[in-house]
Amino acid sequence: MQRMSRRADFPTIVQSGTEIRQQVRLFQQRGDRVGMVPTMGSLHDGHLSLVDAARAECDVVMTSVFVNPTQFAPHEDYQRYPRDLERDVELLAERGCDYVFAPSVDEMYPSGYETSIDVGSVAKPFEGEQRPTHFAGVATVVLKLLNLVPADAVYFGQKDYQQTLVVERMIADLNVPIDVVVCPTVREADGLAMSSRNAYLSDADRHRATALYASLQQTKQLVTQGERRTAELRRAMRQHLSQTGIEIDYIAMVAAGTVDEVDTVDGPTVALIAAQVGQTRLIDNIQIG
């Protein structure tokens, strides 16, 4: 099987859905495994770790860069969400990404567009409660992107825990033929989970924000020390954060792989937190049991 020359210094940038799909099919016809990393751009080491994972497991790596309007509520930060395609492409080149799919909003949502996907109960609590239209927007755009870039594997970060469950549910329920790979959360040196929204933080808020991961770590330690009652663990997290000026949206302990809250930690359990730090809403999670 003859291989196309794929690796260049810079990835090929494609804006047309029809073109990128043809490209994917060509690679697959040659027997290549295609990996896809959906992003909203403004790339950080979290995204790039997904590209690394795809690079390690696939013959061809494609990254989509699309700030998806339908997953933002009207009052949210769609307009000010950071965008810098040129820098993103440079970072992707360094990691050996082969293609960047960067469609316009008109390409993705032409006039008349109305369809949306409801994945049911996994999308309802936590982020779904705080952001009622968010996961329909996520599920729908991910399905659209996977129909345009029909890759063999798609990569997501564990930082967006509930999002990974929503995507997995949608892909299973709709029989989308793709492997979902979830990669570990990448953190700053002081533990803050990497997020494009960290760029919004003032210096003071950036310092405050470290308390999120610290509170999760403390929870894990309490579990190790024998505290299994999640009411106690949540109380300890609230106390830990009470002096920081951080406003908690929710704290929850769920059975791993679900959004089902548990009373005691007696199996694989994930602690979730969402909070306002100054003007910025951040989320994080770790496995605590």
End-to-end CA gap in the chain: 47
Considering only 54, 165, 170, 259, the residue that binds a second copy (CB under 8 A) is: 170
Interface with a second copy: number of residues (CB under 8 A) = 30
Question: Any idea which residue has 């929710």 for tokens?
Answer: 250
Which part of the chain contacts a second copy (CB under 8 A), choosing from 50-58, 60-68, 73-81, 165-173?
A: 165-173
Do 198 and 269 meet the contact criterion of CB atoms below 8 Å apart?
no
Q: Which of 2, 137, 8, 138 is nearest to 61 (CA)?
A: 8
**163 or 196, CB closer to a second copy?**
163
**170 or 193, CB closer to a second copy?**
170
**3 or 25, CB closer to a second copy?**
25
In 6-87, DSSP assigns E strands to 12-14, 34-39, 60-65
Euclidean distance between CA atoms 106 and 69, whole angstroms? 11
User: Which residues in 129-148 contact a second copy (CB under 8 A)?
Assistant: 139-140, 143-144, 147-148
Q: Which of 185, 166, 154 is nearest to 44 (CA)?
A: 185
21 near a second copy, rule: CB under 8 A: yes
**65 or 233, CB closer to a second copy?**
65
Considering only 51, 62, 122, 211, the residue that binds a second copy (CB under 8 A) is: 122
User: Which residues in 214-253 contact a second copy (CB under 8 A)?
Assistant: none
Close Cβ partners of 287 (under 8 Å, ≥ 6 residues apart): 220, 256, 268, 269, 270, 271
What minimum distance in Å lies between the beta carbon of 269 and a second copy? 20
Euclidean distance between CA atoms 254 and 230, whole angstroms? 9
Considering only 74, 177, 226, 267, the residue that binds a second copy (CB under 8 A) is: 177
Joined tokens for residue 191: 């533990």
106 near a second copy, rule: CB under 8 A: no
Which part of the chain contacts a second copy (CB under 8 A), choosing from 45-53, 58-66, 120-128, 261-269?
A: 120-128
* Residue 134 appears among annotated catalytic residues: no
The order of strands in the sheet holding 247-255 is 247-255, 269-277, 280-287
**Catalytic site positions:** 47
Q: In the complex, which residues of this chain contact a second copy (CB under 8 A)?
A: 17, 21, 29, 110, 112-122, 139-140, 143-144, 147-148, 150, 169-170, 172-177
